[in-house]
Amino acid sequence: MRTLFITYALLVSIAIAQEHDPMDDDKDEHGRRERMETMMVWRLTEELDLKPKQAEKFFPRFREHRKNLSDIHKEQREIGKRLRQKIGEDEKISRSEVTSAVKKITALRRKTVDVEENFLLGMDDLLDPLQMSILGMFKQEMLREMGGELRKRGNDRKKMKKRQGGHRKR
């Protein structure tokens, strides 16, 4: 059953990859997000060593949790977007607007922490303590790995540009 689940996840990721249209930025961002989500599902299944029955219950909760976090982050981005827009248009920003924005963002960050805590501690009926610990550390580990990958890609691009820089025709 686990092999079937992993095969399904891989098939979904292949289907998403085939739909990729580099000319459409929205689709590209959506596709990237979908691939990331698929990779997270695959990694979580493997890292948590989920049994099929656990996976059936875990992933709907996980998707709901991700949606809640996404909604909170969207609110944070909207607040930042409004402030950047005012700055870009050289509008005067009052101290009360800044204070209000900071308080809203701080409240949203607290809400994020609460949502994370409730999700993790709410898994005690489904996951054993070891799995809960792994789940709690999963996000940081995955972000650290992704950061390393991005740095590596950035360094590779810099090397490529240096090599190409001496050979360009002007």
Please report, as a single letter, which amino acid is at residue 155. N
Q: Out of 21-30, 59-68, 91-100, 157-166, pick the least confident.
A: 21-30
Q: Cα angle vertex 107, ends 110, 80, to 5°?
A: 115
pTM, two decimals, is 0.65
Residues 50, 58: contact at Cβ < 8 Å? yes
How far apart (Å, rounded) are the C-alpha atoms in residues 170 and 167? 10
* Strand segments (E) across the chain: none
Q: What average pLDDT does the chain have?
A: 80
Q: Which two tokens stand for residue 26?
A: 């929205």
* Of residues 89 and 18, more confidently modeled: 89
DSSP 8-state assignment for residue 51? -
The token pair at 107 is: 């409240």
Instruction: State yes or no: pLDDT of 87 exceeds 80.
Output: yes
Band of pLDDT at residue 26, cut at 50, 70 and 90: low
Contact in structure between 50 and 104 (CB atoms under 8 Å)? no
Q: What is the pLDDT, as a whole number, of residue 17?
A: 47
Non-local CB neighbours of 111 within 8 Å, separated by 6+ positions: 72
Quote the DSSP letter at residue 142.
H
Q: Which two tokens stand for residue 65?
A: 């949790």
